[in-house]
Structure 1
């Protein structure tokens, strides 16, 4: 592992759609236009959000995920061996998974998903073309600042479990399934790296689900070994990140849901998983959601190792209320105190060097986005930049 702090002020990746693209997406939803009509507006919209990030001083650049309807698109649906099922019966979705409990509560009888029907192969890229376009919008010296976000390899497995994620005549067990999936992820990472990408963020709400006591009790009631499954998901990511170049920074973002209108699905502090996940997940950076009491307190940071970076999501994307500089500075100081007295102990200077600040999640994990305006979004990003300057003299 290598300690390579990202930018002191950062954001998770997705941004609000500019009005023209938002309106066109709504027309698509209402069946008043085609997907090609939407695609025609995306390039200009991405130019706009890249410029927004540069204007407010956010050095980390993303394309805002503007080409996606939902944050996890363009991975599993682009893999050979994966089949889209538009109306899979609801009983094949695990009811103890927090966001799926909502589906059951709503009385849904079926839902769309992706099922593994053949050996997994990466026959085309996930985000290479998207990276190339974003790369064309920034000066050559800033290409290394572009961050590519990608959903976790566990995304569909957590929906359906070890018994209904893949055809058992194709894969005998989870290890075989995740081995081939990791091969595809590593190939994507390698191609992105070759093109100049130096920052990849894995978005994984699943880890926070293991902090949810209702899910844990539901799994126990269903006879599922949740500790073994947590180990499986850690291994799945570690397979994806193994052998990466030293100058490729890979992070994982853990949150509790960010659906239409900023709806959350889960709650519970990191204490249940902190010791294991912080110390055995082979990533360089953890983006941690910390904008509400649902995330618990900062004490799990006492388990944070010396060779990784924690990006604390103190600024919410779920409403327009603007946090204060002093509030964020106080919480950073609290985190420094906890880490310096933790295991292992460290100086406050070392602890501070391991910290950054960010939004707790994206502004638009789905295309409809959260209940903020573009001006609200800009203000929150600027707040992060200004606060980071005061804390780190960045």
Structure 2
């Protein structure tokens, strides 16, 4: 199947990174000062402006076509959405309000935390101000007009705080009677954000969602059932939540979904398990164009679940790790791409290996800095890994 058959072929990029990049040293230093109350928000913003220009040049230098601002204006990857929604408030919540079966929450319990910052929905959800419009406009000013369509905006999943607190503790039950009502209004807010970004020229949006990989974890599934939570029904709820956010989008807007197993300070992961448990349902029922799939370690399982992948979507294989500076071998990456194509074509009379290969791209397994402190590697390591992706993509696809 030639790539021009994809509705988003004009923005199909064979090699890219998932979104966040290491903060340049001047920004790291300024953020540390800001956290200690030793500089103003304006001074931090000036350092962020310089950092955006820096990471943009870094991407250009290594040959990346997909362009992001590296999320350098964010303290953590999910910043920018829920705190900007009317009806949501940031509060310190007791640890008992967090679902212990969620892998990263289990670590909070193990650490002995009694309270933690989160959000609570205390009123009707409305989008009164933009999430990322200003960040998009800032980056847009720095690229050529013909490259605006290659800017990628990343945003957290609509289920991010719901999975922490569940259907009983996420929202005031006098405001929303159930999850369907809650996600209807969140979906409307996301659609309004996506519409504004599109009108500004954005053609690529990536939703970051660690939650789907949690459903690949046997231990979590078992503990959910013991807690009286139906994991299959909740998976359906989260698929619907994504679909509500992206429904009725323009045909030339590419929506990607990144599934992650955790990338906290120092690159710490939270969960493990292959995609087999969710592959058929997630790959086919989620209304997205591109899946960014983490495949850098054995924690991710093998490629066999790709046989469930539909013919009209793209799978971006996260074969290059951001959790260490060790550089992968190009021949190993090439071999794994072909292995994935073979798995995708297996048991599918409508898909040859060459068709499957055309549905694949490569990327980092996650961002280099999902939190501002970043992962344990240097900017030089980061550049080598990005350049490697560009090189291997050219060897496989000539692009």
TM-score range for the pair, normalised by the shorter chain length: over 0.9
Helix, strand or coil at the partner of 1:252: strand
Q: Distance in 2 between matches of 1:215 and 1:140?
A: 46
Helix, strand or coil at the partner of 1:156: helix
Task: Check conservation: 1:302, 1:342, Cα contact below 8 A.
Answer: yes
How does the TM-score come out when normalised to structure 1? 0.98
Q: Distance in 1 between matches of 2:99 and 2:67?
A: 36
| Matched residue, 1:133 | 138
Q: Deviations over 1:156-214 (max 9, x none)?
A: 00000000000000000000000000000000000100110000000000000000111
Which of 363, 366, 377 is 1:361 aligned to?
366
CA shift, 1:273, in A, is 0.3
Task: Check conservation: 2:7, 2:252, Cα contact below 8 A.
Answer: no
Aligned-residue RMSD, C-alpha: 1.1
| Matched residue, 1:23 | 29
| Matched residue, 1:386 | 391
- Residue 8 of structure 2 corresponds to residue 4 of structure 1: yes
Which of 52, 55, 68 is 2:58 aligned to?
52
| Matched residue, 2:89 | 83
Q: Distance in 1 between matches of 2:16 and 2:60?
A: 12
| Matched residue, 1:167 | 172
Q: Distance in 2 between matches of 1:299 and 1:353?
A: 17
Following superposition of structure 1 onto structure 2, how do residues 134-283 of structure 1 map, counting pairs within 5 Å? 134-283=139-288
Task: Check conservation: 2:85, 2:127, Cα contact below 8 A.
Answer: yes
Helix, strand or coil at the partner of 2:371: coil
Count of residues in Structure 1 that have an aligned counterpart in Structure 2: 393
Q: Distance in 2 between matches of 1:269 and 1:354?
A: 20
Contiguous gaps of at least 5 residues in structure 1: none
Which of 351, 376, 385 is 1:346 aligned to?
351
Compared with structure 1, are the counterparts of its residues 344 and 46 closer, same or farther at alpha carbon in structure 2 (3 Å cutoff)? farther
- Residue 121 of structure 2 corresponds to residue 116 of structure 1: yes
Q: Distance in 1 between matches of 2:329 and 2:36?
A: 39
Q: Deviations over 1:336-361 (max 9, x none)?
A: 11111144641122111100000000
Which of 35, 48, 73 is 1:67 aligned to?
73
CA shift, 1:33, in A, is 2.5
CA shift, 1:386, in A, is 0.3
Contiguous gaps of at least 5 residues in structure 2: none
Q: Distance in 2 between matches of 1:344 and 1:221?
A: 41
Which of 9, 19, 29 is 1:13 aligned to?
19
Q: Distance in 1 between matches of 2:263 and 2:40?
A: 26
Q: Distance in 2 between matches of 1:2 and 1:242?
A: 18
- Residue 355 of structure 2 corresponds to residue 330 of structure 1: no
Which of 40, 45, 53 is 1:39 aligned to?
45
Q: Deviations over 1:309-347 (max 9, x none)?
A: 000000000000000110000000001111111446411
How does the TM-score come out when normalised to structure 2? 0.97
CA shift, 1:32, in A, is 2.7
Q: Distance in 1 between matches of 2:185 and 2:269?
A: 31
CA shift, 1:36, in A, is 2.9
Task: Check conservation: 1:306, 1:344, Cα contact below 8 A.
Answer: no
Q: Distance in 2 between matches of 1:362 and 1:278?
A: 22
Q: Distance in 2 between matches of 1:125 and 1:111?
A: 26
Helix, strand or coil at the partner of 1:70: coil
Q: Deviations over 1:234-278 (max 9, x none)?
A: 000001111111100000000100000000001111000001000
CA shift, 1:2, in A, is 4.8
Q: Distance in 2 between matches of 1:326 and 1:31?
A: 48
Helix, strand or coil at the partner of 1:271: helix
